[in-house]
Every structure is written in C-alpha cells, then in structure tokens.
Chain A
Amino acid sequence: MSAELISDTSRADIDRWVNKYPAEQKQSAVMAALRIVQDQNGGHLTQELMDAVAGYLQMPAINVYEVATFYSMYEHKPQGKHKLCVCTNISCMLRNSKQVVDHLEDKLGIGFGEITEDGLFSLKEVECLGACVNAPVMQVGEHYHEHLDPEKIDKLLDELRKEG
C-alpha cells in the first residue's frame, strides 16, 4: 500500500493538521499534507506520493490531483535543493527585478524552470509575494529576501552553497 511512502515524521505532522478540522472533514488537510510530503521528497510530488496522500486522508485520488495541480507551490518535476522564487510583478518590476533575474541567470547559468548541474539551485518566476514595500523580493524556502541587489544576491548564494 502506497501510504507507507509517508514517513512517520510526515504522518505526525499531517495528523496535527487533520486535528484542526471537524472529524468528518479530513480532506481539509490535503493542502498541508501535499506540502509535507513534497518537502519529505526533496521538493516535488510524484503520482505515488499523491496516491499515498489520498489513501492516508481517505479521499479520491482525483481530488488530490486536482489540488496538487491547481496551486502554484506544488512541484511535479525535480527542483534544486534551494528553489529561488523571484517575484517580477509590478512593485518588484518598478524596483528593478529585471536586474535580480539577470544577475541570478548569469551567476547560476540557468533560466526560469531550470536546475543547476550540481542540483543545488533552481529558478522560478513567481507572482506577487506580498512584500511590495521591500521590493525586489525573492523567496527561498521559508524565508523572504528583500531589497535585493547583486551584492546581496552574491552573499546569499554563497551562504546557500555553504549549507550545501
């Protein structure tokens, strides 16, 4: 049974979310569950993992696929260890997000939707991150990096490389 694909740690985390909703509404935890198994899998979902979530939350697999393909933070292809999500929407654009994108593409040798050869970085263009007064902004994991310029980006890339 594919539910075994979900680790004990992930199960405990999913259960914590299930408990937030009425007992008969386990499906409400599907968004959290997909995020949790995606993290467990190093940053992307697979059909087996989506099926496992369906089994675990006792919901039809098709409903899990619907959710997993509707929201932009779920990935269906391998990502770099550090997924760099760069906002290019209006407030960031006005503060020169183009320079941020150009610099990242130059330094990493990849474009949007690509991964570096060492598998360390992938680059993603995202819509407004809701930190417009600190533009230009990019999200890496749980953190926002704000007021970006080439110097700050170089420093951040160095730090992320050290993390491995």
Chain B
Amino acid sequence: MANQVCFRNNHLENSWSLEAYQSSGGYEVLKKILSEKTPAEVLIEDIKLSNLRGRGGAGFPTGLKWSFMPRNAPGQKYIVCNSDEGEPGTCKDRDILRYNPHQLVEGMIIAGYCIGASAGYNYIRGEFWEPYSRFEGALEEARVAGLLGENILGSGFDFQLHAHLGAGAYVCGEETALLNSIEGKKGQPRFKPPFPAGFGLYGRSTTINNTESLASIPVILEKGGQWFLDQGVPNSGGEKLFSVSGHVNRPGNFEVPLGMPFSELLEMAGGVRDGHQLKAVIPGGSSTPVIPGEQMMEVNMDYDSIAAAGSMLGAGSVIVMDETTCMSRVLERLSYFYYEESCGQCTPCREGTGWLYRVLQRIEAGNGSAADLDLLDNVASNIEGNTICALGDAAAMPVRSFLKHYRDEFQYHIDHKQCMVKSDW
C-alpha cells in the first residue's frame, strides 16, 4: 500500500480545497471529538499506540511529546508547526502544504485540543510563497465554515491558527530558534532546559511538531493507532514520506510503509539514472551519514535498520549518487552550506564550520596537504557535542562519514591534485 496518510487526497481535483478534503471524510474526526468531548488522554494514548515518531528528523514519539504538556495548567499554551523545511534533500512538507493543507489544519486543531492550546502558528519558510498561499487559503475556508476560530461547531472549543513566514535561515528549523523567529528575533537556538513544554513561545508552554507529523494525526485517529502501527514495522509505525532526489530516473516524493526495502523505494523512483551504477546514498537528509550503495541495497527504510547501518532515517530525504559523483566535491558543497547557515552563536560551530569548508575547499582545488584529512577529523570532533543545537553535529557528521567510507578519494585529490572520477555535471 502507499499514499494512505498525508498524500491520500493528492489524486483529487483541487485537492487543496475544503470541498475535496471533505469529500474524502475530512474534518469528520474533529467533529466527532468535539461532539463526543473525547478526553484528550484517550486521544494521546491512541497516538502513542500508533508509534508516530517526529517526521522532522529527530524521530521523537509524538504522543509522548504531547503528554509532556501541562494541559490543565492555567494560562495560554501554543501548538506550533514546523514547516521550515530546509534540510538539503527534503521537500515533502512543501507538498503537504500545496496538496493537502486542510489535513494539516485539522491535525493542528486536534493537537491544540489534546494539549490544551487555544492558539497555534505554522512557521513556513520564507521561500515557500505558493505553499504559504495554499495554507492561508485553507485557513480562510476553515474559518468561514466554522471549523476554526471561536466556539468551533458550537462545541465551546476555541482555536486560532495563523501562518508565520520565515525569511531564509536553515537554523530556524531548530525548534527554539523557530520560536525566537516567531517572536521577531534572530533565529538563534535557546539553551535547553527549559524545554518548550515548560517555557516556549512568548514564555508559554508550547509543543512543536513537524508538518508531516501533524498532518498524520487525523488519519491515525480515524483509522486507529493500531492500524497506523500495523502499516510499518516494530518501532517504526505507519507510512512515511520519502523524498528521493539526485541520480534517479524519476525523482519524487513517495509515501510508503516504513520498513520498505531501499531497493524497492529506488525502483519506485525509476532506479539509478540509465547507464549508471549506484555509488552512495544519503538516507535522511544532508546531515545524516552517507552509506555506500552496495550496503544500502540491503537496508530497509525504517528507524532501526538505518541506524544499524550507521546512519539515520532523519526526514526521509534520500539523496542518490551514482559512480560519476566526486565525494570531495559533494562534501565541499555540503560543508559550505553549514558554514553559511551556522547562526554564529556557539564558537565551535561558528569557527569549526568555516575550518571544515576552507580545508575541503583547498583539497578540492588541488591544494590539500597530507595532514588535512586528520585535521578534518579533528575539527569535526571538536564541534560534536559542544554546541547548543544540532547544527554543529549536522555539519560534523557528513565529514566523518564521507572520510570513513571514501578516504581514498580524498587522498587521491591530495596526491594527484585532481579528481579520480569523471563527472558529466
């Protein structure tokens, strides 16, 4: 099976409209919850049973996260959606916003109900004007239909929901940087603790979930946590969106059961581009360690299998590279990204990402020296674990894994001042 959760309406005409969404049962779960006044604890138990794990990359169980909220404590609480999709290789939330925005709206209203929040924000990256417009359109339709706002469907439950637009900063995908950004500040991550459940947006208790996680909620509650769990494999419940990009014949977003063999997913994407062989795969977005192709062909697409192979499922952003790929050139580009996007707050990341980039740049340019590979390892290890947020680790991990698997290619660059692979791009 495929396309059963976030993409279940994508085949409908104008799938982003309220009419299309309701034609396939949209907002029925919300109506049922509000009319029956289902206790939040019951709903959260069902989400826990589903084993839905945060789809933004960290994989933290959503139900457990919700249970951390002091839902009955007085005062304003917030639900925040993270649509700041910017991890290289990741483009799934964009398609949820474009093709199924109402399911996200319904998921956020239900999340608000479960955690005791009467207001929510969806943080959408600034470049996503079209997805933002679709989401705003869905909000307006929902308000007019009485599904959003004060006293929803006469239930006495109030929920206000707004979109916030970013302005270009990868680090705002980190949840506390994102909160600072909504507050109108530089997007620099906060030290944790305190965690957002205790001190979040405007200092209030806040839960932050990824777009795909929240958009999965209405389907999980409609079909049951057990159903969702059964779609995947143990410890990896449900279907998940995978963005398959790079050297494949048909790049695309695919919603498939967790645990699907990588080889099958690759087949769905049309296989490695014609006339070429698989060399390497980054399985979960640019921050996750690279896996050599032959090893990847034996891996299943779930959290545990990919961890056992030495990497992470991340956001399900599968970047496929064929034999024409120069690993030195790719890593140089990735290291530039982290250097460019480091927020500058923590010294190891601010300085270390610059070091990584400059050393990789000189290796790629044919000016590397024999000591450079150890220097890269040294700089990476001095960043790891020494920063407030995960961006530092995200910059270090690709360096470690590229050197681990392809050290000979980097050595060749240093020794011969040129690349050992021939590329047509």
Fill in one digit per residue for A50-81: 1 if any B CB lies within 8 Å of its CB, else 0. Answer: 00000001010001001100111110000000
In angstroms, how far is the closest chain B Cβ from the Cβ of A101? 12
Q: How far is the CA of A70 from the CA of B189 in the complex (A)?
A: 13
Q: Which of A110-151 contact B (CB under 8 A)?
A: 126-135, 139, 142-144
Q: Is the CB of B246 within 8 A of A94?
A: yes
- Would you call B90 an interface residue if the criterion is a C-beta within 8 Å of the partner chain's C-beta atoms? yes
**Contact with B251, one of A22, A27, A28, A133 (Cβ below 8 angstroms):** A133
Classify the secondary structure of A's interface with B: mixed
Residues of A contacting B245 with CB < 8 Å?
91, 94-95, 132-133, 135
Q: Is the CB of A34 within 8 A of B244?
A: no
Q: How far is the CA of A59 from the CA of B129 in the complex (A)?
A: 27
**Contact with A71, one of B76, B168, B286 (Cβ below 8 angstroms):** B168
Residues of A contacting B243 with CB < 8 Å?
132-133
Residues of A contacting B334 with CB < 8 Å?
89-90
Q: Is the CB of A132 within 8 A of B91?
A: yes
Q: Which of A89-107 contact B (CB under 8 A)?
A: 89-91, 93-96, 98-99
Q: Is the CB of A73 within 8 A of B167?
A: yes
Smallest CB gap from A73: residue in B: B168
Q: Is the CB of B94 within 8 A of A131?
A: yes
Q: Is the CB of A94 within 8 A of B184?
A: no
In angstroms, how far is the closest chain A Cβ from the Cβ of B149? 13
Q: How far is the CA of A88 from the CA of B94 in the complex (A)?
A: 19
Whether A130 touches B125, Cβ cut-off 8 Å, given contacts A31-B181, A63-B185, A93-B333, is: yes
Interface size class of B (residues with CB under 8 A): 35 or more
Residues of B contacting A135 with CB < 8 Å?
245, 251
**Contact with A27, one of B89, B163, B183 (Cβ below 8 angstroms):** B183
**Contact with A88, one of B186, B333, B343 (Cβ below 8 angstroms):** B333
Q: Is the CB of A71 within 8 A of B125?
A: no
**Contact with B130, one of A34, A72, A74, A142 (Cβ below 8 angstroms):** A142
Q: Is the CB of A132 within 8 A of B90?
A: yes
Interface size class of A (residues with CB under 8 A): 35 or more
Q: How far is the CA of A142 from the CA of B130 in the complex (A)?
A: 7
**Contact with B90, one of A72, A126, A130 (Cβ below 8 angstroms):** A130
In angstroms, how far is the closest chain A Cβ from the Cβ of B133? 8
In angstroms, how far is the closest chain B Cβ from the Cβ of A87? 9
**Contact with B317, one of A71, A129, A132 (Cβ below 8 angstroms):** A132
Whether A31 touches B87, Cβ cut-off 8 Å, given contacts A25-B202, A93-B330, A133-B243, is: no
Residues of B contacting A3 with CB < 8 Å?
none
- Would you call B88 an interface residue if the criterion is a C-beta within 8 Å of the partner chain's C-beta atoms? yes
- Would you call B219 an interface residue if the criterion is a C-beta within 8 Å of the partner chain's C-beta atoms? no
- Would you call B126 an interface residue if the criterion is a C-beta within 8 Å of the partner chain's C-beta atoms? yes
**Contact with B319, one of A31, A57, A90, A126 (Cβ below 8 angstroms):** A90
Q: How far is the CA of A27 from the CA of B166 in the complex (A)?
A: 14
- Would you call A108 an interface residue if the criterion is a C-beta within 8 Å of the partner chain's C-beta atoms? no
- Would you call A157 an interface residue if the criterion is a C-beta within 8 Å of the partner chain's C-beta atoms? no
Residues of B contacting A30 with CB < 8 Å?
184
Most B CB atoms within 10 A — which of A29, A73, A126? A73
User: What are 21 A-B contacts with C-beta separation under 8 Å?
Assistant: A25-B183, A25-B184, A25-B202, A28-B184, A32-B165, A35-B126, A70-B187, A70-B343, A71-B167, A71-B169, A72-B167, A72-B169, A89-B333, A90-B330, A96-B425, A128-B90, A130-B90, A135-B245, A135-B251, A142-B130, A144-B130
Chain A residues within CB distance 8 Å of chain B? 20-22, 25, 27-32, 34-35, 57, 59, 63, 66-67, 70-74, 85, 88-91, 93-96, 98-99, 126-135, 139, 142-144
Known: A25-B184, A71-B169, A93-B330. 17 other contacts (CB 8 A): A20-B162, A25-B183, A34-B167, A70-B343, A71-B126, A73-B127, A90-B333, A94-B425, A95-B246, A99-B425, A126-B168, A128-B88, A132-B88, A132-B243, A133-B243, A133-B253, A134-B251
